[in-house]
Structure 1
Amino acid sequence: MVFTSAVFLFMFFPVVLGGYYIIPTIKLKNLWLLISSLVFYAWGEPRFITIMLLEIVINYILAFIINKLDNKNIMLRKITLIFTVVIDLGILGFYKYINFAISNINKFTSLFILEGKINYIDIMLPIGISFFTFQILSYVIDVYRKEVKVQKNIINLALYVALFPQLIAGPIVRYIDVEKEISYRKHSLPLMYEGITRFIVGFFKKMFIANTLGFITDSIFKDISTVGTLSGWMAILCYMMQIFYDFSAYSDMAIGLGKMFGFNFKENFNYPYISKSIQEFWRRWHISLSTWFKDYLYIPLGGNRKGKYRTYINLFIVFFATGIWHGASWCFIAWGLFHGLFMILERTKIINIKNPFIGRVYTLLVVIVGWVFFRVEGMHNALDVLKKMFDFNVTDIDINNCMNYINGQVILAFILAVIISTPFIKNTYLKIRDKNSYLSNCVVIFKDIVLFAVFIISISYMVASSYNPFIYFRF
């Protein structure tokens, strides 16, 4: 089930929300949310729910054991933690990377003309497994570190892992951030209003901006052989906006839904395309993932505390992991290492841009090139697209190809994408709103009218299209 579907908007969500507020106690509310979340997850592929439930039970038991072991059993506590991590990553690795591993083993053995190949395993990737695996790992690791208390109620732990707003595509919610809200949370009309507003914004970003620009990208990259300089740039610029608005839209909707149920999830994006460096970009892009890797991989590896060369190795490992987390493909690995390279170059001051404008241009160029590896399937195809983009050989055929995709809707979507990717509208609105005047009241009313209008527009786009999956569903 997806947020941008009639089933969710007009059936599932109203029933869940209505039932939630009718139920009197927090314990029963949690049980209701858990059952609803399991229905939400099982809607498309019921068999995968057993994998998630199995992980919940295993981690519940092992976290309990870790908590019971005192400081006199440090080695046993550590072994139990390692065992838990191996199980969680083993399940993730089997479903997500087993055929990728088999493919590379077969290619490697073929170099030595060895007979026989390993057969691929007929297996489907459970939706959202990368997200809920990282969430439950954060819980067990924090219990080990004694940063959180062990959750003795398995219903509450299952709710943390399976809570439907952020289950499929994040943001990755750490247990420490919602520990108190699982047992006690506030509900209010202002929080409900804030949640509805945030959901509508995400709904519009997905249905109008991301889907409109995504159609351009998909159409051009459908046949790599027809891509030219202009069409290549057009496709990747549209994709740069598509992936941001697609993913941030899901985060907006998840955060909005969370507020309606009394949960306050942390922000996942903070205007990444205004960054002046790649380091800043990763402080603004997919914040929950970069924070997770920082806290649970980079710092445990030593961070920047063991000398500059060890720091560079740690960064290399983190960005390799970032790439492979996104998918079983050398293109994703290349994308991760490409960003890691520029992180290292900036740390060594080899790249040290002081001018803010030049810094933003440089960062956008690096990000755009990186998105080619992320979007185009196959390393050869990605390099071919980059070659065409930078050979600046503009032909009449390429110009006509681009013109076929340009219309009023595309132009409006791209203009809105550029404007909303900066804090201009938000800052302007807040400045006017915070002035205690007639104009500020008018602006607030105008905002609500606009929100209502874009919600109706978004519904019309939803009805016109049969299916609207989010890009990060496949991760």
Structure 2
Amino acid sequence: MTFNSLDFLAFFAIVLTVYWLLPHRGQNVFLLVASYFFYGYVHPWFLALILAATGVNYLAALAIERWRWRGKLILTADLVVSLGVLGVYKYLDFFIDNVAALLSLAGLPTAETTLQIFLPVGISFYTFQVIGYTIDVYRGKLQARRDFLDFALFVSFFPQLVAGPIERAAHLLPQVEQKRSFSVENLYSGLLLMIWGFFQKLVVADNVAPIADKAFAIQDPTFYLLWTGALAFTVQILADFSAYTDIARGAARMMGFRLVNNFDNPYFSRSIGDFWRRWHMSLSYWFRDYVYIPLGGNRHGPWRGARNILITFLLSGLWHGASWNFVLWGGYHGLLVLAERLYKTYVPALPARLGRLLLPLKVAATFVLIVFGWMLFRESNGLEWIATHLALRPAAGPPEDVEIAQYLLALVGVYSLPLWLKAAYAWLEAKLGSGGGPGQMAMLTRACLASALFMGILIFRGQDSATFIYFQF
């Protein structure tokens, strides 16, 4: 079941109504059943995997807490099982393909042996979430939970189950365990957040998606059409993923939960390092806390620090999918972060006033680097296609392609305007969503915003609504 479907709207309306009629324990039981229904709606066999991940990590955390002297062994076994299941479903065919390619290069016979394994939606997200819980118990930062039902709800909570944000147990589990009270404030602010999410998906992402798809589907694209497609994808992936996160946060808020924010105006970043503090923040901080720091961070000298950064970014790229273009994308960002660190180390800082004057230039330069990275991310036809695209020159294409690119860029610009205005929306949400504004004025403002966004959806929504991009990860 996807958020951009009528099935979900009917499902959520029923869940929300019944949920607030129940006591706390009943709410958790009902939410767990609803979450399993949501996840197994199309493919019921998905439930076996999430139940296995839940059970293995639930028992592993209890075992770690009981037998501390064997905690490392238990954690290792848990990681082998959890990451092993993820590896089989997500990377086994990729591994087989690359082994076959190496054998072919060596002149050895190969056979078509890929297993064509179907990737369960959301497996990367809930696997990382549940692993984070077990590691936190091992580190002594969290007590292992005895209540299996509450823990299972933490793992499977349907608003953020399929595409995040990846919640930390220390943040979401207490909200599961504590009594939640109905709040008109949460109801209105959550509804507005959901409508804003639907607007981003149906109006922005779904309208620029055809431009990106057609540009990358051209066999021999010209320079202008290719980079128009890359810019369209840059807008699409932010609107698409941010839309899912906002719908998830809005739905959770209406039920009394607060999920972490996953985006902080990432295209206004002043550096690539700043971008990763603003983009998909729950994943960025997960890799920082559970990969980069355990590898040693920057504690053992610059060379090991550089190695740890590259490993972290390469793994982050591979997390997105079993394809070399994702690995290349992760490595590209890792090298950019290393270049920034070298620059800060050896180049004196600019005077504060000059730094402020150059800020727009920094933002623009960072945005160009981000767009280049999204081209690597989007091109899934192979590394040879990426090399061909990078060799394109502006003067090589016919003049009519320039006119077509200008028209398409204008469309992308029009549809992306709401994203550039999101900073103002975030400011307004902070003022009104926190209850800081006058009650009646806050209600009226939300009603006007919701009405405008809803009308925008009815009038400007794309002809076809595709699946959320991050469902494939």
**TM-score in same-fold range (> 0.5):** yes
- Root-mean-square deviation (CA, aligned residues, Å) is 2.5
Distance 1:132 1:404, change over 3 A: same
Q: How far 1:57 moved relative to its partner?
A: 1.1
The answer to whether the 8 Å contact 1:165/1:257 transfers is yes
Residue 224 of structure 1 aligns with an amino acid whose one-letter code is: Q
**Equivalent residue for 1:196?**
191
| CA apart distance, 1:37 | 0.6
Cα distance in structure 2, aligned partners of 1:177 and 1:425 = 25
Aligned 1:288-437 pairs, distance under 5 A: 288-349=282-343, 354=355, 355-377=358-380, 378-388=382-392, 390-402=393-405, 405=408, 411-420=413-422, 423-427=423-427
Structure 2 residue identity aligned to 1:38: Y
Q: Contact between 2:263 and 2:280, CA under 8 Å: does it hold in 1?
A: yes
Q: Mapping of 1:32-431 within 5 angstroms?
A: 32-70=30-68, 73=69, 76-117=70-111, 119-184=113-178, 185-225=180-220, 227-349=221-343, 354=355, 355-377=358-380, 378-388=382-392, 390-402=393-405, 405=408, 411-420=413-422, 423-427=423-427
Contact 1:134 1:172 survives alignment (8 Å): yes
User: Residues 97-119 of structure 1: CA distance to partner in whole angstroms, max 9, x if unpaired?
Assistant: 00100011001111211123360
Partner residue of 2:15? 16
What letter is aligned with 2:366? T
Q: Distance in 2 between matches of 1:358 and 1:410?
A: 22
Distance verdict in 2 for CA 1:375–1:187, change over 3 Å: same
Does residue 6 of structure 1 match 2:10? no
Cα gap change, 1:233 to 1:314, in 2 (>3 Å): same
Change (3 A) 1:183 1:365: same
**Residue 437 to residue 191, structure 1, CA distance change in 2 (3 Å):** closer
Give how far 1:397 is off.
3.3
CA distance in structure 2 between the aligned counterparts of 1:242 and 1:17, rounded to whole angstroms: 30
Work out the CA distance in 1 between the residues paired with 2:289 and 2:129. Answer: 13
1:392: how far off? 4.5
The letter for the 2-side match of 1:385 is H
Distance change in 2, residues 1:447/1:21 (3 Å): closer
User: Distance in 2 between the 1:253 and 1:400 partners?
Assistant: 37
* In structure 2, C-alpha distance between the alignment counterparts of 1:424 and 1:214, rounded to whole Å: 25
For 2:11, the aligned partner's letter is F
Structure 2 vs 1, CA of residues 446 and 431 (structure 1 numbering), >3 Å: closer, same or farther?
closer
More displaced 10-residue stretch of structure 1: 379-388 or 201-210:
379-388
Q: Distance in 2 between matches of 1:454 and 1:424?
A: 15
Tell me if the contact between 2:263 and 2:278 (Cα under 8 Å) persists in the aligned partners: yes
Q: Which is further off, 397-406 or 249-258? A: 397-406
Change (3 A) 1:357 1:392: farther
- CA 1:139–1:363 in structure 2 vs 1: closer, same or farther (change >3 Å)? same
| Structure 1 counterpart SS, 2:20 | helix
Give the TM-score taking structure 2 as reference length: 0.91
Shift, 1:28, TM fit: 1.3
Identity %: 35
TM-score by length of 1: 0.91
- Listed as ranges, the gaps of 5+ residues in structure 2 are none
Q: Residue 469 in 1 paired to residue 471 in 2? A: no
Shift in alpha-carbon separation, 1:360–1:406, aligned structure 2, 3 A: closer
- Whether the 8 Å CA contact 2:20–2:182 is kept in 1: the answer is no
What residue identity is the alignment partner of 2:205?
A
